[in-house]
Amino acid sequence: MATWIQRIIGASKLDVATYEEIEADRGATGQALAVVVLSAVAGGIGVSGEAGGLAFVQLTVAALAAWFVWAILVWFIGTKLVPEPTTTANLGELLRTIGFSSSPGLLRIFGLVPGIGGLVGLITSLWMLASMIVAVRQALDYKSTARAITVCIVGFLAYALLLLGAALFLGLGAFVFGGLLSRGVTS
């Protein structure tokens, strides 16, 4: 069995065997949580020069909530809406693999380096997306990478709709749109 650091490296390398090991290890959920937190902290530190210390806390809390909600959505979409005949997965398996797919996000700490913050953000975001696709493919026992990509896209759209619905429900939509209106968008 690989160490936690070896799993982070393997997940970052998009190593299928690493994701299979993580999926099968019920004890790795805490490790996955730690990866999500550290990735969020690295991202928070990486943007703290631009957004301030509050962004650090907000990003960490949002990352934990997003990880859990995202895993539920991917589990439902992948096992109920578009499963393959070999698909068997539970929420724990998705929490673990998706959590480790955040491993490349540890590099977001380099967003602090002047002049490369945007590039670091772009590269790590694309890398994390690729890691997510591998994580989803392995956790859902898919043979098709295209199906894993589809689940990620549909999951993202569902997630975005949930966020929009929550914002509207909490009255944040009026705040955002009111802010745009007060800036003269309609004048």
Query: pLDDT tens-digit profile of 96-129?
Result: 999 999 999 999 999 888 888 889 989 998 999 9
- Write the pLDDT tens digit of every residue in 46-96: 776 555 566 667 767 777 888 899 899 999 999 999 999 999 999 999 999
The span from the CA of 43 to the CA of 63, in Å, is 10
pTM equals 0.84
Distances, alpha carbon 185 to alpha carbons 164, 168, 174, 181, in Å: 21, 20, 14, 5
Residue 132 scores a pLDDT above 90: yes
Secondary element (H or E) of residue 64: helix 53-76
For the chain, the domains span 4-182
Q: What is the pLDDT of residue 97?
A: 97
